[in-house]
Amino acid sequence: AQSVAQPEDQVNVAEGNPLTVKCTYSVSGNPYLFWYVQYPNRGLQFLLKYITGDNLVKGSYGFEAEFNKSQTSFHLKKPSALVSDSALYFCAVRDPLTGGSYIPTFGRGTSLIVHP
């Protein structure tokens, strides 16, 4: 079975400061990992993914994420937060050992609030 946990319901950060949104996962093998963002009244939008290779993945809007296999984590980071980054962030995982199933499992989300 595949699962993902986002331990923080909410993260508060001041504009211009670095931000981190945490995610840990559980799969049988090597995971495929994703981050999505959801703005109010909008659908989820893809930010970045990790499949293989470099543990540091760069994505849209200046976001990056670091894959740590020993800690089973895939934390989302940004060096300098913007007020416009305020949104809901979802981590997702897919276990490639699930055969023909291409269905990611999502975390419950973390609300990021960036204060001016």
Partner 1 sequence: DTGVSQDPRHKITKRGQNVTFRCDPISEHNRLYWYRQTLGQGPEFLTYFQNEAQLEKSRLLSDRFSAERPKGSFSTLEIQRTEQGDSAMYLCASSSPVRNSGANVLTFGAGSRLTVL
In three state form, how does the secondary structure of 85-100 look? HCEEEEEEEECHHHCC
Q: Which two tokens stand for residue 52?
A: 């293989």
Per CB under 8 A, does 25 bind partner 1? no
Q: Which of 63, 65, 81, 94 binds partner 1 (CB under 8 A)?
A: 94
Residues 5, 101: Cα–Cα separation, whole Å:
21
Per CB under 8 A, does 46 bind partner 1? yes
Q: Which of 25, 67, 74, 90 binds partner 1 (CB under 8 A)?
A: 90
Query: Which residue type does 93 have?
Result: V
- Interface positions with partner 1 (CB under 8 A): 6, 9, 32, 34, 36, 41-46, 49, 51, 90, 94, 96, 98, 100-109
